[in-house]
Amino acid sequence: MSDRREANLLLLFITVLVLLNYPLLSLVDRQDRWLGFPALYFYLFFVWLGLIVAVALVVRKRKK
């Protein structure tokens, strides 16, 4: 179980590492507005929140 959890967390790290760096970042580095927020601002906080939720889901206690 913990092996799978560790692997998931590592994958999460790599995924977010890619999402938060160039070249992907250059796609959203624009003067656009999304839902009223600046595109980049929206994107960074959205990925950030996603990371937090994902970590919380992965480490939550095992229930059977």
Partner 1 sequence: MHTPDSAAKVLIVDDEPNIVVALEFLLQREAYQVQKAYNGVQALELAAAFLPDIIVLDVMMPGMDGFEVARRVRQMEALEMTKIVFLTAKGTQRDKEAGYSSGGEYYLIKPFDNEVFVNTINEIMAYG
Partner 2 sequence: MALSLIVLCSLAYVMLLFYIAWRVDFSAVRGKSPVNNAYVYALSLAVYCTAWTFFGSVGRATTGGLSFLGVYLGPSLLAPLWFVLLRKMILISKNQRITSIADFISSRYGKSATLGVIVTVIAVLGIVPYISIQLKAVMFGINTLTHFGQAAPAPPAELWLDGGFWVTVAMAMFTAFFGTRKLDPNERHEGLVAAVAFESMVKLGAFLAVGLYVTFGLYNGFDDLFTQAQVHEATHKMFSLQDSGITPFSWNMLMILSLFAIMLLPRQFHIAVVENTSPRHIARAMWVFPLYLLLINIFVFPVALAGKMNFAANIHPDTYVLSLPLANGANWLALLAFIGGFSAATSMIVVEATALSIMFSNHIVVPLLIKTRSFGQGKDLVSGAHRLLDIRRVSILFILFMAYLYQRSVGSTYDLVSVGLISFTAAAQLAPAFIGAMYWKRATHQGAVAGLATGFLVWAYCLPIPSMAQAGIVSRDFIDHGLWGISALKPYALFGFSGVDPVSHAAFWSLLLNTWVYAIVSINTKPSTLNLTQADLFVNIHKYISWQDTDILKREAKIGDLKNMLDRFLGETRTLALFREYETNNGVSLTNHQVAQADLVNFVETQLSGAIGAASARLVMDSIVKEEPITLDEVMRILEQTREAVEYSRVMVEKNTELKTLTLQLTAANEQLKNLDRLKADFITTVTHELRTPVTSIRSLTKILLDYRSELSEEKIQEYLQILVGESDRISRLINQVLDLEKIQSESIAPEALQSVDMEALVSRTATGMEQLFREKEVAFSVQNDVPGACEVQGDYDRLVQVVSNLLSNALKFVPQGSGWVKARLFHQNGFLHLQILDNGPGIPPEKQAMIFEKFTQLSRRDTGKPQGSGLGLFITKTIVEQHGGLLRVDSKIGEGAMFEVRLPLDRFAKSTFAAAKN
Residues that bind partner 2 (CB under 8 A): 5-6, 9-10, 12-13, 16-17, 20-23, 25-26, 29-31, 33, 36-38, 40-41, 44-45, 48-49, 51-53, 55-56, 58-59
Tell me: does residue 17 bind partner 1 (CB under 8 A): no
| CA 11 centroid distance within chain | 11
CB 44 → partner 2: shortest distance, Å? Answer: 6
Q: Does 1 bind partner 1 (CB under 8 A)?
A: yes
- Report DSSP letters for 1-64, one per residue: -HHHHHHHHHHHHHHHHHHTSTTHHHHH-SS-EETTEEHHHHHHHHHHHHHHHHHHHHHSPP--
Q: How far is the CB of 16 from partner 2 (least distance, A)?
A: 5
